[in-house]
Structure formats: structure tokens, C-alpha cells
Copies of this chain bind each other. A is one copy, B any other.
Amino acid sequence: MDESSEVQSLDFDWDRPRRRGFTEAVYCEGKSPDQLREVARQIRDASTDSSLAFLFTRADAPRAAALKEILPDAFHDEQAQFLSWPALPPPVTGTRVVVACAGTSDWKVAREAELTASYMGRETQLIADVGVAGLHRLLSHQETLREAGAIVVVAGMDGALPSVVAGLVEVPVIAVPTSVGYGAAFEGLAALLTMMNSCAAGVAVVNIDNGYGAGVLAAQITSG
């Protein structure tokens, strides 16, 4: 047994910005406050490029508190469980990312997607309450949707919204199923399958509740 293996490695992937253009986000769920403080310390001490935002996802209140002990000037959004250091997003470049969702239940995932894109340097806009069961609201936003550089559509339950949105626009649509619903929603599986089978071409899907991943992809698409 190697002695050194008793110390759990938390080495950050410092090479990622060079390869991928953005930093490795820290997924906080399942990490202890101690572990998070250690990561935050590494980031604080090693960061040299102040134009890069370091993002922490699934940072609930106690975990955010631990991070803020080390990075007191970080930005934290409690509903989206999203923390960024430094607190200000980088200057806006590229085209606009629009995030659409059906209501309050999907809001926190939509917000995570929006904040991620914002902290990767995009202008963003979040449209809430545009569910398929009330088309008139969605149709009133057609102009905004058509002018976006990329659209993230967040939906739980029947997951039908991305098909409807993609049918209206020329823009790439990233669909995010959420675990909102009950019974045969199977914690987002129903929405995920719906979205994989979208009648409208030009829709791609990320993991259930993965607002972060959708935000990254939307920011990459709109970087030009």
C-alpha cells in the first residue's frame, strides 16, 4: 500500500483553460466543506489570469459559506446553487444566449444555465413561463428567440417545449430535461426521452438538471 495514497488528491486541472478555453468547474455535491476550502485555497493561490472565472456548481448554502471563507468576494446565487470567483462576469463577447423554461419549478436549472453562459462572457436573457400548455405566451417571444445565437430550453414533466421552440427558429437549441414532475416522470427520464426524439431537427440534449453543461455549450456555440 502506497503511503501517499492516504492523502486524497484534489489537484486542479490547470491545463484546461489552454486546451478548452475555460476553467474546470468544481461540482460541489458530495464534497465536504473541508475539501471545498482546500480547492478554493488552491484556486486563490494559483490563479494568475483574472479574466478567467472559476465556477462552482451545486453549491448550496453551507458549501457556499465554506467557499466564501476563502474567497470572500465571490458571487453566489442561492437558487441556482452557483458560485463564481471573481464575482464579476468577464466582458461580453459573441452573440446572445437565450434561456427559456416553463415555470417556477424549472427556474433554478434555467438560471444555472444562464449564469454559466454569462460568466463565460455572453449576453444572456431568461424567459420564464413559456410552457406548451399556453402557446400564446411562447409565441409572443418569437422575435427574441429568432434573434438569439443559441437557445437553451429547460423543461420537466412532458419535456415538449424544445420541439415547439426549435420548430420556430433557425438557431441551435440545447434541451435540458429536469427532474421536475412525479410518477411516470421518473425523475426526468420521460423529459429526456421526449427531447431525444424531438420532431424538430437541430435539438441536442444534455443530462437531467444539467444547466451548467447547457450553459457551457451555448457559450461555446455563440463565441464567434
| A interface residue numbers (CB < 8 A to B) | 1-2, 5, 8-11, 13, 15-16, 19-22, 25, 27, 29-31, 35, 79, 89, 95, 102-105, 107, 111, 114-115, 118, 123-126, 128-129, 131-137, 139, 149-150, 157-160, 163-164, 166-172, 174-175, 177, 179-210, 212-214, 216-217, 220-221, 223-224
Identify 11 residue pairs between A and B in the complex whose beta-carbon atoms are under 8 Å apart, listed by A's number.
Answer: A2-B124, A5-B111, A19-B167, A20-B167, A20-B202, A135-B164, A149-B224, A159-B197, A172-B221, A190-B194, A202-B216
Contacts of A118 in B (CB 8 A): 1
Q: Closest B residue to A195 by CB, please name it.
A: B158
Q: Closest B residue to A102 by CB, please name it.
A: B199
Count this chain's copies in the assembly. 8
Contacts of A223 in B (CB 8 A): 170
A204–B206 CB distance below 8 A = yes
Q: Closest B residue to A208 by CB, please name it.
A: B183
Select which of B79, B124, B183, B224 is within 8 A of A188 by beta carbon.
Answer: B183
Evaluate whether A164 and B167 lie within 8 angstroms (CB atoms) in the complex, with A124-B2, A182-B208 already known: no
